[in-house]
Amino acid sequence: MTETADELSTPLGQETKRKKRRFRLPFTAMQALAVLLGLFLVGFATIALFTDNPFGGEPVAHVAMRKTPVADEKAIAAASGPAEQAAKSAPKQAAAGENKTVTIIDGSSGKRQDVVIGGDAGNKNDAETAPATAMAGIDPRLLEKSRYGMIPVVADGLKPFTVYAADADRAKAAKMPVVAIVVGGLGVGAAKTVDAIMKLPPAVTLAFTPYGADPTKLAERARAQRHEILLQVPMEPFDYPDNDPGPQTLLTTLAPEQNIDRLYWHMSRIQGYAGIANFMGARFVATDAVMQPIIREAAKRGLGYLDDGSTPRSAAPALAAGQAMPFTKADFTIDAVPTSAEIDRTLLKLETLAKERGLAVGVASALPISIERIAAWIKTLENRGILLVPLTTAMLKSKSG
């Protein structure tokens, strides 16, 4: 009542001086809930900051696992399939396929040196000696494993010479003049090799050197186009080493077993060839003592032999005859002078010889001008009464004649 009276007696516009009193709210249920929420937030922050929990508070399910017995582990590994197993072993396989060790034998001392050769085509030396890969369409019975790779062999009465000879009408060839043409130096230089494969008819025989980044791929393509193929074996020329045919060249200064070892290296580079031919080698082929083991080995393995005619003193004709080996010698180097006029003139000589003797053999390189002129000349042969035949057919006709 006193306070009310004071307010009534106070003049308008003036405030009554009140005695300050502390006002306390009652402790309600809402305040209790707020306190509990605060404590929960503090606790959550503490856990987040000081607990190593990568799931950050997310729900986690705990599943009890039993230990798998060894037998079950093997069953699971087997059930994982070949794809997973191949993936596990792929790095080892890739590493194993990257390099190949070949033995280089010194031409003077005969000293052996193991050299690791890689398959990187960007490096010239590596590209020239990259290891060979397996070829399609090869009869596995006619392959024998050597320390360098697979090399030809006679098996089940079959010889590479007959199995890999190109198809030909041999009855017709026996009755009329025939010409065989061999284009060599292939395998090094993919563009020129493909030109020879695709622009020349199947009856033209193609000869591959053992060098190149991927000689098997190109040789495979040649055989797919029905060309028969030869392997050219690098042999020592008179001006060696100034004129060097390439790695693992057969040399007159090496012992026979060393040259045979090198021959195996060359033979392993590709497969599916019907015979071998000398690549250069005027000195080597004229030296009976070093040439005889090579001819004997090639004959034993069921191959024919082409002498490129680079030297008139070659021991190959007599040695091949002594082994009853399919053999022939080139009569002309078609592009010895690589001009259109000279190539055409040599082709005319080849044609004339075929009519006189019944058989003529020419060799050429894969120069664009050579391929062009040979392809054009071949188209006219039938009208001139001459049959173009693979080299193996020419060898058989030569032997029967």
Q: Which helix (H) or strand (E) holds 262?
A: helix 256-267
Q: Does the structure show a pLDDT above 90 at 67? A: no
* Other C-beta atoms lying within 10 Å of the C-beta of residue 189: 14
Q: How confident is the model at residue 118 (pLDDT cuts 50, 70, 90)?
A: very low
Mean pLDDT is lowest, of 51-65, 135-149, 275-289, 340-354, for 51-65
Q: Does the structure show a pLDDT above 90 at 153? A: yes
Work out the burial of residue 130: count CB atoms within 10 Å of its CB; fewer than 13 is exposed, 13-18 middle, 19 or more buried: buried
| Main-chain phi, psi angles of 273, to 5 degrees | -95, 145
Q: How confident is the model at residue 29 (pLDDT cuts 50, 70, 90)?
A: low
Alpha-carbon distance 296 to 199, whole Å? 35
Q: Does the structure show a pLDDT above 60 at 65? A: no
Chain center to CA of 366: 21
- DSSP-derived letter for residue 388 is E
Q: Does the structure show a pLDDT above 60 at 389? A: yes
Instruction: Decide: 90 and 98 in contact? Cβ < 8 Å.
Output: no
Q: Which two structure tokens, joined as six digits, stand for 133?
A: 């890969």
Q: Does the structure show a pLDDT above 60 at 55? A: no
Residue of 355, 352, 308 lying closest to 332 (CA atoms): 308
Alpha-carbon distance 72 to 89, whole Å? 22
Instruction: Decide: 229 and 269 in contact? Cβ < 8 Å.
Output: no
Count CA within 13 A, CB hemisphere, residue 244.
6
Q: How confident is the model at residue 212 (pLDDT cuts 50, 70, 90)?
A: confident
* Residue-wise pLDDT tens digits, 290-325: 999 999 999 999 999 999 998 999 999 999 999 999
pLDDT of residue 270: 96
Non-local (6+) Cβ contacts of 155 within 8 A are 141, 142
**Residue 37: inside a domain, yes or no?**
no
Q: Which two structure tokens, joined as six digits, stand for 92?
A: 């080892």
First-to-last C-alpha distance (Å) of the chain: 156
Mean pLDDT is lowest, of 60-64, 138-142, 342-346, for 60-64
CATH code of 205's domain: 3.20.20.370
Mean pLDDT calculated for residue range 155-179? 96
pLDDT of residue 40: 62
Among all chains, which residue has been given the structure tokens 């098996």? Answer: 155
- Percent pLDDT > 90 in the chain is 63
**Residue 343: inside a domain, yes or no?**
yes
**Residue 256: inside a domain, yes or no?**
yes
* Residue-wise pLDDT tens digits, 228-245: 999 999 999 999 999 999
- Percent pLDDT > 70 in the chain is 66
* Other C-beta atoms lying within 10 Å of the C-beta of residue 209: 24
Q: Does the structure show a pLDDT above 90 at 92? A: no
Q: Which helix (H) or strand (E) holds 125?
A: helix 124-128
Q: Domain span at residue 383?
A: 101-400
**Residue 211: inside a domain, yes or no?**
yes
- Model pTM score: 0.69
**Residue 152: inside a domain, yes or no?**
yes
Q: How confident is the model at residue 276 (pLDDT cuts 50, 70, 90)?
A: very high
Mean pLDDT calculated for residue range 124-132? 43
pLDDT of residue 25: 45
What is the chain's mean pLDDT, rounded? 79
Residue of 147, 182, 188 lying closest to 166 (CA atoms): 182
Choose between 87 and 207: higher pLDDT.
207
**Residue 25: inside a domain, yes or no?**
no
Mean pLDDT calculated for residue range 164-193? 95
| Cα 367 to Cα 89, 182, 230, 266, 280, distances in angstroms | 45, 13, 18, 24, 17
Mean pLDDT calculated for residue range 357-362? 97
Alpha-carbon distance 141 to 143, whole Å? 6
**Residue 111: inside a domain, yes or no?**
yes
Instruction: Decide: 303 and 259 in contact? Cβ < 8 Å.
Output: no
**Residue 40: inside a domain, yes or no?**
no
Please tell me the total count of domains within the chain: 1
pLDDT of residue 137: 84
